[in-house]
Amino acid sequence: MALILQTCPLMPETFLGDLSQVKLFDILKPLLTEKKTGKVAIRGNEDGEICLEIGDIVHARTNHFAGENAFFTIMSWRAGKITFAPELPPKEKTIHISTEQLLLNWSSRKQEFEKIKEVIPSTNSIFRPSLQKDGKEKNIGADQWNILVLSNGTKTISEIAKFLEWDEYKVLKTVHQLIQMDLLERVEDRVEVKKKWVRGDFFAVLDMEFKKVMGPVAPLIIDDKLVDFGEHKETFPEQRALPFIEALSEEIPNPFKRNEFLKVAMKLLSF
């Protein structure tokens, strides 16, 4: 292990960037061309990892998927902190095709996704079965039947994906097929409820109180947690304030100080 770390120019857990500012493929390219071995970790609203072995992608995992589906899902993310840690190849290998073929499959999926977006512009889109006026019989597969049953005029694409535990691309692709067969029609896009942000001095007060128990590292921990939550101080949702405070409190090793911090921090939520 020591020999590997010495020969690798990237130190363990090297921060490589944020998906809000850089494309993941641009991060992966030099690791692949330089034949690196290690783990690319993405932490944000969801966590994921892509493992490399001498420049080949051999494993990918998210909270819900493993293998190619996990890789495709991660490549579609637009938020999260990216780090790289050189290490021995993982014992688990969930990707068994060549990296070249994997990237070709991903590129093909991207192109197909662009065509689908012309018909289904948003995962908040809602569909319902359309009237069959031609009287023709249509043969559909099991996946298409599942989508047809759940497209009841109230569920969004995202909600159907969560219910079936599919990635959103699979749902979008199947819905698109059913639209082409004139079996589904679009109802509307559900407008998301406007978020309420935390009060203006929320983070200033939180930072001051957290420093009392954690010292000078407090701002760094808060910034890391913001990345984990995939949020920014200026637009932090009010409904996520409590989980954020609880997540910060877990960083405090002393139980007494942890409870004191929680008592003070909770007062911020009462305003």
The arithmetic mean of pLDDT across residues 89-116, rounded, is 87
Query: Is 13 within 8 Å of 83 (Cβ atoms)?
Result: yes
175 pLDDT above the threshold of 90: yes
Highest mean pLDDT (candidates 13-17, 31-35, 193-197): 31-35
Q: Show me where the domains of the chain are located.
A: 2-97, 109-189, 202-270
118-145 residues labelled b (16+ CB within 10 A) or e (exposed): eebeebebbbeeeeeeeeeeeeeeebbe
- Comparing 15-29, 33-47, 76-90, the range with the smallest average pLDDT is 76-90
Q: What are the CB-based long-range contacts (under 8 Å, 24+) for 24-30?
A: 24/74, 24/75, 24/77, 24/82, 25/75, 27/82, 28/57
CATH of domain 109-189: 1.10.10.10
Confidence of residue 84 (pLDDT cuts 50, 70, 90): very high
> CB–CB of 68/116 below 8 Å?
no
Average pLDDT over residues 84-96: 84
Query: Stretch 165-190: mean pLDDT, rounded?
Result: 85
Phi, psi values for residue 80, rounded to 5°: 140, 150
Provide the pLDDT for residue 4: 37
Residue 88 has pLDDT above 80, yes or no: no
Residue with the bigger pLDDT between 137 and 89: it is 137
pLDDT of amino acid 270: 64
The chain-wide mean pLDDT, for the chain, equals 85
Confidence at residue 86, expressed as pLDDT on a 0 to 100 scale: 85
What integer is the mean pLDDT of 100-123? 86
Please, which pLDDT band fits residue 9 given cuts at 50, 70 and 90? very low
> Which has more pLDDT, 151 or 134?
151
